[in-house]
Amino acid sequence: MKRFVNYTNFSGFGGCNYAFLAKESAFNFSRQSVVNLKNVTELPMVADWAIGNMTCEEAGKNSSDYACKSSNSKCYEPNNGSGYRCSCLEGYQGNPYLVQGCQDIDECELGKCPHDCRNTNGNYTCLCPKGYRGDGENCSPGESLILKLVAGISMAIIILLLVAFLLYWEHKRRSFNKMKQKFFLKNGGTLLQEKLHARGRSPESVKIFTSFELRKATNDFNNSMIVGQGGFGTVYKGLLPDNSIVAIKKSKNVDPNQVEQFINEVIVLSQVNHRNVVRLLGCCLETEVPLLVYEFISNGTLSSHIHNQARARFLSWDIRLKIAAEAAGVLSYLHSAAATPIIHRDVKSDNILLDHSFTAKVSDFGASRLVPLDHTQLSTVVQGTLGYLDPEYMQTNQLTEKSDVYSFGVVLLELLTGRRAIIFDKPEDEKNLAYFFFLEQIIEVARLAQGCLNVKGEERPSMKEVAMELEGLRHGGKHSWAQTDQCKAEEMESLLGVDGGYNGISIDGYGDSTSVGFDSLRSHVDLPMSGGR
């Protein structure tokens, strides 16, 4: 026992002494200890002990006397003496000196594993969640989980983008459908349905093409597909899915008056069935400007042949007569044989197309009018092409079938002479073919040619006589027949109320023409066709 107070230096001191057993590191002596120890009843003490004086190996040989009774215990030898002691194995707790004294510790209940804990005898297993890796207590995402996360996020983004695209597409589709409906109304779709209904015909009797079909047929209206172009618009060559070649007429712009003409042409052509009329296959009303789809006529217009020297040489007299007869037959059919009589109102060489065998096909019925059976004439706004217009129609506004007859007469003159209906850069007395055509001169030249071709030489004129006759015809104004033609011109001027030269009208010389309405003259450019309508 250690003495904390040395009494050798005190004399005559009779105080009390304290004695106790305690762990040295658990008690620190101070002046207050004397006072405080009065109230202390317990102090920590370490007692080092052991069982017997044998080692663990020696004790284990005698199982009956061996103190470590629990199967989950172990023997160990103290460091400071002989003998042995017992303790529970790691993972067990309790009294190792009893048979069932050491019981398993449930580490999972102690919260040692924050994830997947599985208790075992004397131990436990700690696992990371699926997709993670580590010792169970410290887990981090595994590569497969990262890949799954990336894949999941990517899929979510793709789904969001897909949903956004579908919503955008649906919005565009609805907007496009609204736009098509707007164009359908603007381009006279309702008017077409009303007129078809008024005539007792189903709307399905006129084929309605979609804009997609016609864009595909013309390679999105590519310039390489253009076969004709003019002031009113453009004609494209197109290829339909059934490999049939068509001509698609696309206007540049359409005002309300032109919409009515467009619908009128659809109505007229949809009820005309004649081999010499350009067949209307259908129309498209869902584009910004309406489109007409015709059969494709490959050889261009009559005008492009008559007024082109290289092409005119292929128009023999027989072919010219054939073209004239076929065109006349169409007009006769329209006037007399159609279910409802039709006045074309714009007969001209530009509106007569030719196929590869020079078969005539009358086209462009935009200005045409249906004539009720109980009417012989109609009061209309004057419309047509300058040079072909009936002067009586221009004066009275009364449209009759004879107005087509006059226009066809001008076409016949073009076939005979090769001259245009109007040429503005000619002298005043040569501008209008219809006014200054000297029929008598042509007859006289034909008679002179017949005389030259007499079989008997003595019946033929001499070249002096031939020369004198032709020279006289050249100065036709001095002959009586010339005066007759001048009177005819004056009569026309009186009907028209304008001079025969049409001064003040400006037209470029590209095979174009001028339309007339009431008292005013409106210039426009017609389409010089090299293909079809």
Selection from 404, 365, 399 nearest residue 268 by Cα: 365
239 phi and psi angles, rounded to 5 deg:
-120, 115
Between CA 131 and CA 109 the distance in angstroms is 24
Is-contact 262 188, C-beta < 8 A?
Answer: yes
Helix (H, G, I), strand (E, B) or coil at 431: coil
DSSP 8-state code for residue 415: H
Q: Could you tell me the CA-to-CA distances from 420 to 301, 371, 416, 472, 513 in Å, in that order?
A: 14, 30, 11, 25, 10
| Residues annotated in a binding site | 250
Catalytic residue among 346, 364, 404, 526: 346
The question of whether 425 is a catalytic residue gets the answer no
HSE-CB for 436 with a 13 A CA cutoff: 17
Q: Could you tell me the CA-to-CA distances from 358 to 301, 319, 406, 496 in Å, in that order?
A: 10, 7, 23, 36
Residue 395 burial class via C-beta count within 10 angstroms: exposed 0-12, middle 13-18, buried 19 and up:
middle
| Residues annotated in a binding site for ATP | 250
Alpha helices, H only, 347-479: 391-396, 401-417, 439-452, 463-474
Residue 493 burial class via C-beta count within 10 angstroms: exposed 0-12, middle 13-18, buried 19 and up:
middle
Integer-rounded Cα radius of gyration of the chain: 59
**Known catalytic residues?**
346
